[in-house]
Every structure is written in structure tokens, then in C-alpha cells.
Amino acid sequence: MKLYGIALFVIILLAAVVQAQDTTTTRPFIIYFLCLKPCHYWKRRGVPQYSYWATLRESILNIILYRTISDNVQKIYNDFREERYCGIYQFYLPTLFIKDYELIKQMMVKDFDHFTDHNQVLAENTEPMWQKNLFVLKGDVWKDMRATLSPSFTSNKMKMLFGLVSDYAKLFIKNFENQPGTTTLEMKDTFTRFTNDIIATSAFGVNCDSIRNPNNEFYMMGKDITNFGGFKSNVKMLFWVLFPRAAKFLDIRVFSKKATTFHTNLIKENIESRLKNGIVRPDMINLLMEARKGRLNNEEKVEADKEKHIKPQLTDEDITAQALIFFVAGFDSVSTLMCFMAHELAVNVDVQERLQNEIDEVLSQSSQELTYEALLRMKYLDMVVLETLKKWPPGVFTDRVCVKPYTIEPVNANEQPLQIETGQILWIPVFALHRDKNYFSEPERFNPERFSNENKSKIPTYAFLPFGIVLTVLLYFLCFKSFIHWKRRGVPQYSCWVILRESLLSFIPYRSISENVQKIYNDFSKERYCGIYQFYRSTLFIRDCEIIKQVTVKDFDHFIDHSQVFSDDVEPMWERNLFALRGDRWKDMRATLSPSFTSSKMKVMFGLISEYAKLFVEYFEKQPGVITLEMKDTFTRFTNDVIATSAFGISCDSFRNPNDEFFVMGKNVTNFGGFKRNTKMALLMLFPRVAKYMGITLFPKNAYKFFDKLVKENIESREKNGVVRPDMIHLLMETRKGRLNCEQDSENDKEKPAKRQLTDEDITAQALIFFFAGFDSVSTLMCFMAHELAVNVDVQEQLRNEINLVLEQTSGDLTYEALSNMKYMDMVVSETLRKWPPSAATDRICVKPYTIDPVRDGEQPLRIETNQVVWIPIFALHRDENYFTDPDRFNPERFNKDNKNNINPYAYLPFGIGPRSCIGNRFALMETKLLFFYLLAKFNIDVVEKTVIPLKVARSAFQLTSHNGFWLGLRSRNLK
């Protein structure tokens, strides 16, 4: 997980580099100092390492999980075959990779006092249940706890636990003895239930049977406390690693408070009951209680365990912490060992038969009653377990941290003394050592005979390290638990590795959002739906139009809400707007606002927008020659002015007055680019409580105050002076007074007027969300339409002919009705929205359980639970040749009177669909049509030298836009 956190940091860092403005001077130096300079560390010390570029390449490959951890360890080990050690980098953190088993022995045993500690996963004092366990304790604190606990794990003490574990093993077998025929099992789930029950009885003194009673309280709490998967848990883990002080202050826990309280109370009550009633039970609780009383003696004096028994007083919290870490390790690691062993026995039938013969012999000798001593004498069983651990070790590597300076003396001719400083991390490649043919002949073959009495003495002790480390690997593999959600439900999905790789690639960014949507759509072209993951959050990706119709219209009551972007109480400017509201609050606001966006109300605003479109054209009419423009900036200034007047009642001209206060504040509010704003957005989405505590908001506070004050003063002035202006502020004020009626003029607009009282804050929030939509989305639509008209001259000419005809029919004075009747204009706008929709996808949240019934062979009923996210891939549907012939060609004729009825309405969704579709679509269409009406009446839109054909979509933007900008020319129709 620590590597995952560092990976995210590096990705963000690289993104910041990519965004550097001075590409000729600044960026190369940034790349050098941030990416290459740290890779000098081992080279300066004379330690073999990869080249700088190879190091950088391998770091990037690690980010996208090009290889497994074991493959990476094996590659490094092989690439430096002739060396005793080499230098590697954990995302620029220098790490010494030890290969020589003699050096491993020297450092890990003989000079152990220099390397007593593991690398720290979480900062100290972050997690009360974590900081007390043996794995993370350091220095003298670790030594004291190790000395205190060691007597609890001698052979004699294990003999005490034998009976408990044996009874549970027998119960486990009985569960399957009564089942007829061959029982097909997923062994990971099966063995995990067994290890859960073992840990429950041996560590916590609790009897349970999670196979017969899958919902018993201990098992459910055990699942809770060991469930490190899922987006939320992984984000919390990342937060603990990177922001420990904030995590401590906010009381964010590694283990859930509910589960922690359960286990703590369980142990305290258990201890209290035993002390009160004199109960003695042969389990770990009893051993730890005896250790607290000082009644245990250290019975095993092995070379690596020479501590004398000391007397630190074990508290109830200490006992709970040790029991809990044994649960976490035993729950998953032991069950994984069992899985690999079962697999090898199934594949190697001769090994299984020989082991069964030994078991039969032991049962015969012990009168069918296995004893602890008999189990220890089972040589072949021991050989099979050891070979499993050799081939499939629990830890791919183990680590140590240097706690006081140490020197590795030279042995080979090319070596020199290597000084290891305090804090330096060391890696011991357990997996690669186990696969080294110098220590194990035919290392890939499962061969228990290598651990026979005759052969095991030939194995170097420090080349076989099956129990080097467990927790680091656990933290790594727990990432994958979230990636089998859809697989378990029979829904097609990518493999776990592909999912993780694609998730990390999205940070770079490697593809645009539209390209990602298209790729998923194409990869599952034969399916009606598939499962995807948004940073571990499972999402159902719907491809089938009939299901889209059910979800968005027929069964809309199951999918009312959008996915929540920000927490309700974090962003005051966001939580009140129509897009973010949920449930009944959304229904009330939608019903309240709907009368403001009917055809008749758009007619009221027609005059305002028309005047601004004329001013826009007049501004360029005065400029000579062909005017080369970046159209995104140009159209954004226009949409800014239109929104200013139509939503806020403010008149401004951002062309003639580029520093107008409204325009500057508007740019500030809608500027979502840059490292700072992206970091704030990530913090708001992932750590809302932290953002709230620190007073971080997505929208700048000065901008919020500006717009809030602007709307309130505007309303007060209008009410005081009786001012009536045909704009959105007026419409919302009229709605507040209950003077508007909902005109039920469309299938999707059947809301009855609600009786919810609109506040000034509500009006500000709605005006602001319309500003966002109108400022960026509409200007982007205009950019794509202008580009297509410039490239497709025949389309532009036909549209201009229609404009000339309307001007002639209206004597040069365009009316709302005349604009609405322009068929070819509507066709061109519709085709632009098809080819370049405002959003690549839209989403819904399931608010009550729903079932998608099977239709095709191989499908099964799919139950969608509450809070499940559903994605509808608008961009990909619009490019599907099953719905639109030659979809990459710009062809307005597909929307003519004869053809448009052939278009599936659930495959064309530029503004969404159903009751949750965009409420402002009429406004956006009217604004776009008005601008191009007046623009094409006076100008030709031409391709210029800077125009990029074909257009390249930007990868880093939230919405569809051009990577190189929209460079086009305006040429007066009077010019030849």
C-alpha cells in the first residue's frame, strides 16, 4: 500500500511536469531533477544498478503493474546474477537488494542489532490497535515485547493448542463428508472460513463454525476487520501512510471502530470472566495472560532468539493487539498456503497418494486418534508443506531498516566498502532465492524430496526463508479483492491485472475519457452490459438500449440519483444545485425549476441572447481580412456574456472589456485545470472531512462571496424598485412567488409545481450551475460545430443558404419561431451533438434493489443493490455503427425528416434521457443556433494553417475538447 501511495504521488508529480508552461526550458530541468537525479544514489556509491532511463522505465512499468511483484523481484535477481547485491529504487526511494545468502546471514543474524526493524508501513501513533502489535514495534520496545511473547510460542505451548485446532479440522471435514459425489469448491473461500474459526478459538477463545453458520457475529466482525479491499479502505490506507498526523487528528482507523470495539470488549470480558471464575482454556488468551503474570519461561534458546525473559507489563490493549495481528496474518496467509498446497497435490497425484499413505499409516499406528507427537513425526507431510512454502512463499520479499551505521566489506574483486546509513531500507528477495537453481535444482518443479533427510541439509539455511514477511504482501494483494465483485456475480469484466493497470493509467492520463469509454464498449461488443471499476468502486457499464430505457425511464424510480461527487456538507456552492441534489430534494427542485425552461420561457430570453449574438458578430466585422482565432477562447467569452445577462442579470462585454469583474470571477470559478485545483478536487472527493476541517472548497471563497452578493443585491434591487428583466433571476423569483405553472409539453417534463420555498442561496446555486454548464459545455459544442463546418464546406454552404432564406422571409429580423423552424440548422446541431456529445458518459445510482432479467444464453438474473453505480456510455453509443451508419463521418442528413425516425432514441443521448435529463437543453440549443445564424450570415468559417485535421481529443480534460485548441478563421463574405 505504501508503494501504491508513492505511485500516486509520482503520477501526480509527472502530471504537474506535463502541465509545465515553459516546455523549452523549465520542463527538461524539472524532469531531470525530479526523475533522474534521485537515480544517481547507488551509482555514486559504486553499487551496481540499472541505468537512469531503465530505472525510470521500470518505475513507470511498476505504476501500471506491467509485472507482478514476484516477476519484478525475479527480474532484478536475474539481471544482476553475478553481484552479491545491487541498488534499486522504490519510486526513487533507494533500496539495497541483497542476493548473497552469506551476506543475508551476516546482516540478519550475526549483526542483527544493526537491522532490528521492519520498514514502517504506518507512522507511529496513527492507529491505536496497530502500533502495539509485534510486527510494527521497533527497537527496545520490540525486543521487550518479543521477549515477553516468545515463551507463548514454544513447542510445549503449541502442544496445548493442538487439541483445539484438531477438533476444528475434524469438524471441517464432516461438513463435506455428507455431500454426495465430487464436491467442487473455490478453496480460498473454503480454507479462509476454516482459518477464521481456528483463529477465533485459538486467539480469542471463541467457538464458532463459519461454514454451518456463515453469519455468526465473530465471522462477520472478522470479515470487517480484515477487509482492506474497496475504494474507501484503500483511500484510508493511503491517507494513513501519507498523512499520519491528519489521520490521527480525524480519528481515522486502520481497523473499523465497530470491529475494534467488538474485539477489545470480547477480550476484556474474556479475561475478566476467566480471572473471576478461575477458567483455564488452552488458547492464546491464556498464554498471554500467563505471560502477563510472568509465569512463562523462555524454553527455546535458538540462535536467532536469545532474548532473556523480561517483565514489561502486558495490558489488555497489548493482548488485544497481538491477538488481532495473529488474526490478520492467520486468516489470509495460512489459507493461501493451504490453497497452493491443495493445488499442487491435485496436480501432482503421485505426491498426494504418497502423503495419503503416510496419513493412513499414522492413523493405523495411533488407533485413528492423531496425537501432537505423531503429527510432528510425519516426515513426508513436513516435506510437502516445506516444498509448498519453497515454491509459493507467503512473502515475495522481506525487508529491514538499518538502525545504526553498518559497513559491508568487499569480497569480490570489483567491490569496495559500502557504508549503509541509518534509515536505509534493505530487501531480501525470498521468492527469487527460492527459485535459484544454485540452491534448488529444477526450482519450478514441485518436488518434496528436496526436503528429505538426505537432501535438506544441502539447502543453504539463508536461501530458504518462507516466513520472511507476510503483512507487506497482504497489503499488496488486498488491492485485488475489490476487483472480483462483478466476476462473482457472473458479469463480464476485465481481468484483475488489466483493471489495476487501467486504473493507474487513468492518472497519467494515457487516454481521454471518451477513448476509455469507447475501448470498454468495443472490448465487450457481444455483451448487453459489463462490469468496470472506478478506483475500486464497482460500476455497471450498460451497452443495451433496452436496459437503458428501463433504467432511465420505465424503472426510473430505482435510479433517481446521480453519483455523488462531493460530500453533502463539504461544498456549500455545490450541495444545493439541481445536478447534485438527490431523492425528494431533487424532485422538489426539479418541479420548482421546470417552469423556467419551457418553450414559452425560452421565448422570453430569446431577445437577450439575440442581442449578444449580434454584438459578437459586430465585434469581428470591424476587423480587416481573415481573422484567425482560437475558437474555444472566443466562444467562451460569448457564452460568459450570455450567462452573465441571462442567469445573473448582469450586462458585460468580455471582448471589449477583457478584465470585466464578472468575467474574471467566472474564469476563476470555472478553472478546473492546474495541479492546485486538481489536488483540491481530489481532497474534496476522497477526504471530505479533512477538506471541511481545513476549510477547503472547490470554488474560491472570494468568488463564492462575489456571486452570492451579486444575486442577493440583484434580487433586493428588483424587489425594491419593481425592476422586471426577462432573465433567469426573474424566472426564479417568479417561481419563488408561485407565479409560474409547469407546462407539460414533453414526455420528460411531467412534474407538478412543488411548494418548496426557494431561498436566495438556492437561486445562487442554480444560477451558478447553469453558469458552469453554459460557460464550458455550450462553448465546446460551438467549437466542434465550427470545426465541422470549416472542414465540411458543403454543409456550411447549405446551412448558409437556409440562413439567407430565413433572413429574406423575416426581412432581416429573426424571430423565435423562425429560428425554431430552421430544419437544416437543427440537423447540423444534432449531428454535432451526436459526434461530439457534451459528456462521454452519464451515470445513475440505484436507490432501491433492482433485477436485470436474463435475455441471452449464458446470462443469469443480475441483482443490482442499493448505491450501485450505473454508467451509460453516450459517446460510444453515438459511434456505434449499429445505430449510425458510417459513425465517424459528419452527416447532418441522418437527422432529416425521413431518417431521424429511424434513430433509436436510447442510442442518441446528448443531454441524457428521462426525468433526469438536462433541464437547460432548450437554452443551450437556442444559444448555439442564434450565434451561428448571425455568424454565418456575415462570415465564412475557414480552415487555417493551425487547424488540426483530423481533430485530436484532449486526454486530460474532464469533457470532450481538442488537444491542440480549435484554430479557425473568420472570413467576411464580402472578401473573395
- Known binding-site positions for heme: 918
Q: How far is the C-alpha of 922 from the C-alpha of 288, rounded, in Å?
A: 72
Q: How far is the C-alpha of 352 from the C-alpha of 357, rounded, in Å?
A: 9
- Read out DSSP for 10-38? HHHHHHHHHT-S-TTTHHHHHHIIIIIGG
Q: How far is the C-alpha of 326 from the C-alpha of 128, rounded, in Å?
A: 16
Q: How far is the C-alpha of 136 from the C-alpha of 275, rounded, in Å?
A: 30
* SS3 of 735-761: HHCCCCCCCCCCCCCCCCCCCCCCCHH
Reading phi first (left if > 0) and then psi (alpha if -120 to 50, else beta), residue 286 is in alpha
For residues 763 and 736, the answer to whether their CB atoms sit within 8 Å is yes
Strands in 194-282 per DSSP E: none
**Amino acid identity at 6:** I
Q: Please provide residue 871's backbone torsions phi and psi, each rounded to the nearest 5 degrees.
A: -110, 140
Q: How far is the C-alpha of 447 from the C-alpha of 445, rounded, in Å?
A: 6
Q: How far is the C-alpha of 361 from the C-alpha of 359, rounded, in Å?
A: 5
Binding site residue list: 918
Q: Please, where are the H alpha helices in 792-920?
A: 793-809, 816-820, 823-835, 874-878
CA distances, 724 to each of 601, 730, 768, 839, 961 (Å): 14, 7, 21, 35, 38
The β-bridge partners of 343 are: none
Which among 618, 906, 602 is positioned nearest to 731, based on CA atoms? 602
For residues 492 and 524, the answer to whether their CB atoms sit within 8 Å is yes
For residues 700 and 674, the answer to whether their CB atoms sit within 8 Å is no
- Read out DSSP for 423-463? T-EEEE-HHHHHT-TTTSSSTTS--GGGGSTTTGGGS-GGG
Q: What is the largest CA-CA distance in the chain?
A: 111
Q: Residues 608, 612, 617, 623: is their CA dihedral positive or negative?
A: positive
List, in order, residues 6 or more apart from 755 with CB less than 8 Å away.
738
The β-bridge partners of 870 are: 540, 844
**Amino acid identity at 471:** L
